[in-house]
Structure formats: structure tokens, C-alpha cells
Structure 1
Amino acid sequence: MALTLSFACWDYDRMKALEDGRVRPEGIQLNFLNYRVEETFFRQLRFQEFDVSELSLSSYVLTLNQEDPPFIAVPVFPSRFFRHQSMYINSHSGISSPSDLKGKKIGIPEYQMTAAVWQRGIMEEEFGVPVTSVEFFTGAIEESAEERRTKVHHSLPEGVSVTPIKPSQNLSQLLADGEIDAIFSATKPSSFDTCDHVTHLFPNFKQVEAEYFKRTGIFPIMHVVAIKRSVYNANLWIAKTLTKAFQKSLDIAYEAIQERAALRYMLPWLEEHVSETQALMGQERWWQDGFRENKHVLDKFLEYSFEQGLAKRKFEAHELFAPSTLESFVV
């Protein structure tokens, strides 16, 4: 009899074959629950509602601070994103280069969110803007958004300034009004579309991100897939089995994006975009799961997490994952 597992994840193209049943993990009946990431993260981190789920990389690392960590991950990364493009500024704030952020006020939804960890790390390492040289303000990006709730509690390092905004305020409007100077986020603030003076920190972000990848080989990881540790401990075999199934689903997503007889996606120049991405990233497959393939990315994130006072120590990349998944995929 197959083991029934619930799996909460957004319906990314690389997950569709698992959602619709074209891929079935051996010995597992996977109940795919299509939730947006905020709902999945909150319900899993607060209440551990799902056997398997997509999780914020940063939040997952924070759970490893606990004496008995509730989850164990597999090296599958549902979300990746270059984050230079998600830094916004008020052009009236005297910011003409990233180094001008020193002494400024920066809005972030949460101090611990993965996007912000990457953005702060890049600002300090690449542009000489330490986390202690700015003031952070946390809260909702938009007026209509729910108040951002901390899902995994953490302390702040000495010298880091983080102030919650008022419940009646939102970061997008504060940026437009000049009460903060920048926003580091995952989403675009609405004031970017309504105010001429709200713009990108990096207007040529595509060029900047391409250069960053060429130099570092880093395509930032945002999310992992994590198994509830009690479920894993009772069924050690599921980590490798699930990992193989995720790889098959990713293979099918690549097949779909390469289809040329008719467009599977609503992008008229999809073929050119794919070719451009392959030329830049120097590989047939620019989106790769697997531990060895991504160890350098994970090492950098874990360095940033520790330096920013989130991880209790500098974890080694292999500590994040079930031991049986550390070898390259064999499907």
C-alpha cells in the first residue's frame, strides 16, 4: 500500500507534472495542495500542517537553530530569483549608486526573509554597505496587504537597527513620500508604477545580474522542499524517492519550454529568451536541483545568514539535507 503524503507548494511549471499526476513518486500517493507561498510558509512553520512543503530557505535555516529541528530538506529548489532587480529607491533621496545607501532608511517586509538576506549580503560584500550602516523598517509592502507575521522567531545582532512601521502604514507609500529611502523586497511596490521618483536601484538590473552570475556562478535560491522530520524519521526512504520524482517533473518542464510547434507559454519570443539564458548561464539547463550542483550557492547564503545574525552558527551546506540526497540525481 502506498504511503499517502500531503505536499503544499505553488503550481510552478517545474511542479506541474507532480500536481497533475504525470509523475508519481514510487510507493507514495502525493496529495498536491496548491497554495501561494505565504500561506504555505505560515501554516507549515507555525502549525506543521503538511507532510512535505515548499519552505523559505531562510526560515528553514532558522528552524535548524532549534534543539529538535522540525523539518529536513531535500535539494530541490522551487524558487530562484536574481534579487538586484527587487531593490527600489526614492530618487529624491540622493542615491546615485549602491554605496549611497549608507545611512539611509530601508524598508523590508521581514528581516529574516530570504530575499532580504541575499540583498543585504550582496550590498555588504559587493558594494561595501554593512547591515549596521543602515536603518531597517519592517512591515507590509501595500496598504491592502495583511500585516506581515513573523513565522520563525529570531534575535537581532548587536548594532542592527530594525523598527516595525505602524499598522496603518505601508512601505510602498512610505517610499513614495520619502519617509524611507529604499525598499528591499521580493515583490514590486505599487508606487513604482505610480510615482516617477520611485525607481530601481539598478536601472540596468538585467546587465548587473548577468555580470553577477558570470562572476560568481550564483543563481540565488529562495525556497527548498522540506519534509516534516517525524514523517522522514519513520520513512527514511522517502527523501531519495521524492527527490527523484522532483527531477522527473523538472525534466518534463524543460520539455515543455523547448516545444516549438505551438507556444505552451504566453511569451511571443520564448525561444529567443531561452537561447539568451542558455548562452549566459553556459549550460543546457540553467535551473538545476541537486546538492553538488548548488553547494556554492548554499554556502554563500549560509555565510550571509550567519553574518547577519540569523543562523546560530555557520551551517555547512550538507547539514540542510537528508543524507541520501547528497549524491547527484540518478533517475
Structure 2
Amino acid sequence: MSELQVNMTLRAYDHLVPLFLGDVPTPGLKLNLDHRVPMVSTLSENLAAAEVSFNRYVLAAAKGDDSIIGLPAFILRGFRHRNYIVRRDSPLENLSDLRGARVGTNSWSDTGTMWARAAMRDAGVAVTDVNWVIGDLDEANPLKPPTHMDVDPPQGTQFLRSGQTLMGSLRDGGIDALTTAFMPDSVFEPHGEFRRLVRNFREVEREFHQRTGVYPGFHIVAVRRDFAEAHPQAVMTLYDALRKSWSIWWTKAKKFAESSPWAMEEIETQVRDFAGDIPPFGTESDAHKRMLAMICHEQFAQGLIPTAARPEELFAGFDSIKAKVSG
């Protein structure tokens, strides 16, 4: 019997390298992985599965859009307290200092930006306490094209004119701070012109995690609904392959821990403090339930959605497929 061809877009994260190398069996499937294309918001007819924005997926679920089925595979996670930057000489030192400030961002609907605002709100600064500015990050990173799952920023948000950039505005004092996914090189330089707003971000993020129990998820894997309904076993095979890839990587990481001088300490920190988030799959653990509840609450509290999604229903489609295959 010939294998089912499954086209999929996916970034080549470390824990997915075994999958890309072909070290993970996918019985009955021929996975055609592409890590070179930008992340998609909708799955075309020739794309069965893809890495997608978790924020946009939950927004769609809140609106009743079930055209794709999300798998509880939280393949990209992180904290966003660290993702605010200011000028080196800025008097701002904490997220609470952003009240009344002019803060730039190059995306309103990205999951990371949503979690960055959640961190700010946790520090006591409401979304409406900030004067938001949206525009191109720099000449090399323009605004992303809008998608049907994007939401509008608050009234009064300023949009930069053509030729203006957020980095330029931060440099010349047009804005006070900036939150974006990837830090400019100068942040990593000891005396660069920009620095992180939260200098002790690890300490602040650790406190946030200890208090809330939430390790934010950014991206998940999703499949087209018609594909899933036609090939439920293929969906479970894919999900199992993602889990197996992570398991192979995790075993290797614990054996070698060669990615940085203190990678072993990081692994032990994960085992000690993030047990409910290891592995990053499923919705059964209390840690994952807390994270799902928080993303639904934050979308409503930030004014992204008039009615919050129900966390227990976010992966109902996957649960149905799983039950069908298991039964």
C-alpha cells in the first residue's frame, strides 16, 4: 500500500531535528516537511498540516471558526518580559514604568506580542495605559501582511508613515520602548545603543512562573479539518511523531548538554520547575490547563475578543479524532 503524502510547513527547532532527519517513524505517512516558508495563517488545499500562531488559533476558536484543528503540541514557548527594549540611557527600568509611555510594536496579533502585553498587565499597566505605535520594525523587517484572523489595536493607536521605522523612532526618542519578537544585535552588545527594559528578566520571569504556574505557548501544529476527517489515523501518527521527536531530542540533551556552558543546569531547572510542561504536549497537566485558561482570559481582557474562548474546547476537534482512532 502506498504511503499518504502529507505536506507540512514547520520550523526546524532543535527538538524537531529528529523528525527532519527521518529518525522518527511515521507509518503509513510520507511527511514532506518545508522549513523555509513563512508561517501561515490558513492551510491551502495542498497543505495538510502547519505550524500556526496559537493566539490567532484561539481567536478563531472564540469566533467559531473551526476550519483547522489544532493539535496540543506546544512546539514554541517562552516568556516575553525580556522582549521590551529601550535606549541604553532610558530612565525606564521595569514594566510598571510603561504607564503613560509611547510603546512601539510591529505586530498586534502575534502570540508573543499578546503575551508581552499580558506581562505588562501583570505588572499593573493596562493596555489602555500605553500610547501604542505600530509600524515597520526596520528596513529589513516590514509589517506582516494582515490576515483574516488579525484583530485591530486600540483606538488612538498611531501608525508610522511610510519610510519611518520603530527602531528609528526608538533611536530618536519618538517612542520610549519597543516590544518585538527578535532583539536587535545591539541588545547583545555590552554597550550597545539599546538594552532590555527588564535587565533581570530571568528573575522576573521566574517569579511570574512561580506565582502563576504559566509557561506561555506561542505556536502549535494544526491540520486542515477536511484532511483530519478523511485521515484521522494520519493525524494521530503525526502527533505521535512530534512527541517522539521531542523525546529523542530530550534524551540527547540530557546526555550531552553541549549547546552552552551551563546547558545542563538549564535542563535540571526544567526538570525541577517545569515538570508539568514536560513534554510540551497534551492538555491533561495542570500547567497546560493554566496556560490555556490564561490565553483565553488575556484575549478578552486585552480587548481582542468580545467573548472569550473556552479553554476546555480549544482542542475538542483533536480529542474527537483521538477518541475515534482509539475506539
**Which residue of 96, 101, 104 corresponds with 1:104?**
101
Structure 1 letter corresponding to 2:92: I
Residue in 2 that maps onto 1:130: 126
Taking every aligned residue pair, what percent have the same amino acid on both sides? 27
SS in 1 for 2:69: strand
CA distance in 1, matches of 2:230, 2:103: 45
Contact 1:239–1:324 (8 Å) recurs in 2: no
Gaps spanning 5+ residues in structure 2: where?
none
Contact 1:154–1:310 (8 Å) recurs in 2: no
What is the deviation of 1:4?
1.4
Residue in 1 that maps onto 2:289: 295
The number of equivalent residue pairs is 318
Q: In structure 2, do the counterparts of structure 1 residues 252 and 325 end up closer, same or farther at CA, with 3 Å as the change threshold? A: farther
Residue in 2 that maps onto 1:179: 174
Deviation per residue, 1:171-206 (Å, 9 max, x gap): 122112111111111110345357755322211001
**Which residue of 297, 305, 308 corresponds with 2:299?**
305
Residue in 2 that maps onto 1:279: 272
Matches within 5 A, 1:207-286: 207-260=203-256, 265-281=258-274, 283=275, 286=278
Structure 2 letter corresponding to 1:289: F
What is the deviation of 1:326?
7.5
Q: In structure 2, do the counterparts of structure 1 residues 312 and 45 end up closer, same or farther at CA, with 3 Å as the change threshold? A: farther
Residue in 1 that maps onto 2:10: 9
Q: In structure 2, do the counterparts of structure 1 residues 65 and 300 end up closer, same or farther at CA, with 3 Å as the change threshold? A: closer
Q: In structure 2, do the counterparts of structure 1 residues 119 and 224 end up closer, same or farther at CA, with 3 Å as the change threshold? A: same
Residue in 1 that maps onto 2:34: 33
**Which residue of 199, 202, 206 corresponds with 2:198?**
202
Deviation per residue, 1:68-108 (Å, 9 max, x gap): 53211010011001111111123655424322211111111
Residue in 2 that maps onto 1:113: 110
CA distance in 1, matches of 2:225, 2:86: 41
Residue in 1 that maps onto 2:309: 315
CA distance in 2, matches of 1:155, 1:191: 31
Gaps spanning 5+ residues in structure 1: where?
none
What is the deviation of 1:113?
0.9
Deviation per residue, 1:204-261 (Å, 9 max, x gap): 001111111111111110001000112112223333332222111111011110124x
Contact 1:132–1:161 (8 Å) recurs in 2: no
CA distance in 1, matches of 2:28, 2:108: 40
Instruction: Give TM-score scaled by structure 2 length.
Output: 0.87
CA distance in 2, matches of 1:266, 1:92: 33
CA distance in 2, matches of 1:73, 1:312: 22
Structure 1 letter corresponding to 2:125: V
Deviation per residue, 1:25-75 (Å, 9 max, x gap): 332221111236xx122xx53856521000111122233355653211010
SS in 1 for 2:255: coil
Shifted more, 148-157 versus 130-139: the winner is: 148-157
